[in-house]
């Protein structure tokens, strides 16, 4: 690739132990790692709206995939009429948050307890707390921010597939391996599968499973093995077949419900979400859970108290009451009914009434093999190696700078674009920029971010608002740039932002749609992610552009635009 250059364009031109055997309780996550960064759900959940605050209420942050279950359990908790030692009612205020927001809120003292999807986040929180506070006890061991950790629900990480896709790979007559996924993707270019990046729990756990599969072991993954040529080569081969990374498992399952088989053939989620999917009355087809033959890891959904100065005795009492409620037999039955495996091992998961059954696409006798989470140093190595082996990307940022963007809007977009670049940690990713108003007036051509970052930051800083909105011409210009490049080894994508309606393009919407579909079928597949910024954006047009490429639309405003760009960065 030649060095990037700027062009003017004439008009018209994104302590663990293993679980043992099926249904066994996840013992404890050893001190994990500061390797997760961004896990955001769909745009509606980017900025959760807090409930009215009551000083006596326990503020509990909950990850989105289990919001409905936790809300049901807390309603039951309230209905039971628990009181504190001085006779006050025990009240819990639920806040729906993605994992990163949860960590930030805990550090800021805005929540009293958290319920993420994995213990990985607890260690991240404790490490960040120790780093920021630099507080150590007399033995020199950093104090932790979390305490009273309780595990009450667990779910293995699986590869969800449409039933006919799984059968084509040999399911259920034989176990399906990561090698099977690799071979299918290599011989069939139409096979589309994905897992989230290592900035999500399910993405990191799936990546660890691939390293184990490459090494041919189920425990004691060492630094030397993780770095070995054969392991790196195998993991790299798998990663090069990933369609794209993404926002996390909850968003993936919602897209599968909406788009069906047009979305992906297979994707990584926790088992419970396969149960959830198959129970939906409007599901487009049936999913089945594939438990990789080489073994898998588990999400353990821990409850943790946050030891901040504003934690009052009443909050501790409510937390203890909640712990008891969560681990009670009655609540553990509710957990099972929702499709999770309960922490109480006395509760059978293979009964006639259990949702952990083949009718819901899952098997109570699986997984047969549980993998050991390796030491923190090995996980750090795996994360670093992943950045080298992952499928890299060519991404054009397509930015509306029409007159309606003047003022705070454009200032927020500039901030969001810088956030996007900050989130692209891999120095091998290629990023370019197309700016438009009445026409496409500037193109910063693709180059590796290590060579292009300062040029892009300068270009972003110089953006000015004026003119009309030639959205279609701008998308086509960026799309043609990627098609001319013809790079099939990388993820090719556009991240398109506009705050208004198309009113100045030479190209029509139907011509653009036809061009995208034709280009994607004959040339390199290019996925388009659209961000509708503000109330005036033309959602129908953006939806049609995104759907023509297999992409998505997200809605943003002044408050969410930065986080939306941060979210888009997780795809690459």
Structural domain includes residue 565: yes
* CATH code at position 255: 3.40.190.10
Question: At 93, is the secondary structure helix, strand, or coil?
Answer: strand
Whether residues 504 and 402 fall in one domain: yes
Which domain covers residue 531, as residue numbers? 6-12+392-569
Q: How is residue 110 written in tokens?
A: 């805005």
Alpha-carbon distance of 445 to 425, in angstroms, equals 19
Whether residues 166 and 113 fall in one domain: no
pLDDT score, position 54: 55
Q: Is the backbone peptide bond immediately before 350 cis, with ω within 30 degrees of 0? A: no
Structural domain includes residue 1: no
The CA-atom distances, in angstroms, between 35 and each of 117, 133, 380, 513 are: 15, 19, 7, 39
Q: What is the number of structural domains in the chain?
A: 3
Whether residues 453 and 343 fall in one domain: no
Question: At 53, is the secondary structure helix, strand, or coil?
Answer: coil
Structural domain includes residue 365: no
Structural domain includes residue 488: yes
The CA-atom distances, in angstroms, between 9 and each of 13, 435, 438, 496, 509 are: 7, 10, 12, 18, 20
| Contact yes or no for 349/357 (Cβ under 8 A) | no
pLDDT score, position 103: 92
Whether residues 412 and 477 fall in one domain: yes
Whether residues 331 and 250 fall in one domain: no
The closest alpha carbon to 378, from 208, 195, 205, belongs to 208
Give the predicted TM-score (pTM) of the model: 0.83
Whether residues 262 and 398 fall in one domain: no
Whether residues 318 and 239 fall in one domain: no
Whether residues 337 and 312 fall in one domain: yes
Other beta carbons less than 10 A from residue 540's beta carbon: 11
Whether residues 86 and 140 fall in one domain: yes
* CATH code at position 456: 3.40.50.410
Alpha-carbon distance of 81 to 84, in angstroms, equals 10
pLDDT score, position 34: 34
Whether residues 101 and 58 fall in one domain: yes
Question: At 514, is the secondary structure helix, strand, or coil?
Answer: helix
| Per-residue model confidence as pLDDT tens for the chain (572 residues) | 333 334 444 333 332 233 323 333 333 333 333 333 333 333 333 333 343 445 689 999 999 899 999 999 999 999 999 898 888 899 999 999 988 889 999 999 999 999 999 998 898 898 889 888 665 555 555 578 999 999 999 999 999 999 999 999 999 999 999 999 999 999 998 999 999 888 788 999 999 999 999 999 999 999 999 999 999 999 999 999 999 998 889 999 999 999 999 899 999 999 999 999 999 999 999 999 999 999 999 999 999 999 988 899 999 999 999 999 999 999 999 999 999 999 999 999 999 999 999 999 999 999 999 999 888 788 889 988 998 899 999 999 999 999 999 999 999 999 999 999 998 877 889 999 999 999 999 999 999 999 999 999 999 999 999 999 999 999 999 999 999 999 999 999 999 999 989 999 999 999 999 999 999 999 999 999 999 998 889 999 999 999 999 999 999 998 889 888 888 888 88
Backbone angles phi, psi at 113, to 5 degrees: -155, 155
Alpha-carbon distance of 240 to 243, in angstroms, equals 8
The CA-atom distances, in angstroms, between 348 and each of 291, 329, 332, 363, 516 are: 20, 12, 11, 13, 51
Give the torsion through C-alpha atoms of 172, 270, 72, 49, to 10 deg: -140
Structural domain includes residue 25: no
Whether residues 454 and 469 fall in one domain: yes
Other beta carbons less than 10 A from residue 208's beta carbon: 25
Whether residues 122 and 197 fall in one domain: no
Structural domain includes residue 37: no
The closest alpha carbon to 556, from 523, 519, 524, 530, belongs to 530
Structural domain includes residue 29: no
Alpha-carbon distance of 411 to 213, in angstroms, equals 47
Alpha-carbon distance of 139 to 156, in angstroms, equals 37
């Amino acid at each position: 690739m030649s060095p990037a250059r700027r062009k003017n364009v004439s008009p018209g031109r994104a302590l663990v132990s293993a679980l043992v055997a099926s249904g066994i309780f996840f013992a404890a996550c050893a001190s994990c790692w500061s390797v997760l960064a961004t896990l955001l759900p769909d745009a509606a959940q980017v900025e959760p709206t807090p409930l009215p605050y009551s000083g006596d209420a326990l503020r509990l942050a909950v990850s989105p995939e289990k919001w409905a279950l936790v809300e049901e359990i807390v309603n039951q908790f309230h209905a039971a009429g628990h009181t504190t030692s001085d006779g006050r009612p025990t009240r819990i205020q639920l806040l729906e948050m993605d994992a990163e927001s949860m960590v930030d809120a805990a550090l800021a003292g805005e929540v009293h307890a958290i319920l993420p999807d994995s213990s990985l986040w607890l260690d991240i929180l404790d490490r960040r707390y120790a780093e920021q506070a630099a507080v150590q006890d007399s033995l020199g061991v950093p104090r932790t921010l979390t305490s009273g950790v309780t595990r009450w629900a667990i779910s293995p990480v699986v590869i969800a597939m449409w039933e006919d896709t799984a059968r084509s790979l040999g399911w259920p007559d034989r176990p399906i391996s990561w090698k099977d996924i690799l071979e299918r993707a290599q011989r069939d270019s139409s096979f589309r599968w994905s897992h989230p990046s290592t900035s999500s729990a399910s993405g990191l756990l799936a990546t660890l499973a691939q390293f184990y599969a490459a090494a041919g072991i189920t425990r004691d993954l060492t630094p030397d093995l993780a770095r070995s040529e054969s392991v790196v080569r195998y993991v790299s081969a798998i990663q090069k077949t990933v369609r794209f990374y993404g926002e996390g498992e909850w968003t993936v399952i919602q897209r599968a419900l909406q788009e069906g088989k047009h979305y992906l053939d297979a994707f990584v989620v926790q088992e419970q979400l396969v149960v959830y999917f198959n129970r939906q009355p409007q599901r487009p087809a049936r999913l089945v859970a594939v438990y990789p033959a080489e073994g898998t890891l588990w999400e353990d959904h821990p409850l943790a108290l946050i030891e901040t100065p504003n934690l009052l005795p009443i909050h501790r009492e409510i937390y203890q009451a909640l712990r008891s409620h969560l681990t009670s037999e009655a609540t553990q039955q509710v957990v099972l009914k929702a499709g999770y495996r309960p922490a109480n091992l006395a509760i059978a998961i293979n009964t006639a009434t259990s949702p952990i059954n083949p009718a819901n696409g899952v098997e109570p006798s699986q997984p047969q093999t549980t993998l050991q989470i390796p030491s923190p140093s090995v996980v750090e190595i795996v994360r670093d190696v992943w950045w080298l082996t992952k499928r890299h990307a060519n991404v054009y940022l397509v930015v509306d700078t029409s007159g309606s963007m003047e003022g705070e809007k454009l200032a927020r977009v500039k901030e969001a674009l810088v956030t996007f670049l900050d989130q692209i940690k891999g120095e091998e990713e290629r990023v370019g920029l197309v700016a438009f108003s009445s026409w496409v007036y500037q193109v910063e051509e693709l180059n590796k971010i290590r060579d292009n970052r300062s040029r892009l930051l300068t270009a972003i800083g110089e953006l000015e608002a004026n003119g009309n909105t030639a959205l279609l011409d701008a998308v086509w210009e960026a799309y043609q740039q990627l098609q001319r490049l013809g790079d099939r080894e990388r993820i090719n994508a556009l991240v398109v932002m506009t705050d208004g309606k198309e009113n100045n393009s030479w190209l029509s919407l139907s011509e653009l749609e036809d061009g995208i579909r034709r280009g994607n079928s004959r040339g390199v597949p290019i996925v388009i992610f659209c961000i509708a910024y503000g109330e005036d954006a033309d959602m129908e047009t953006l939806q049609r552009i995104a759907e023509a490429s297999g992409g998505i639309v997200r809605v943003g405003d002044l408050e969410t635009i930065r986080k939306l760009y941060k979210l888009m960065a997780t795809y690459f």
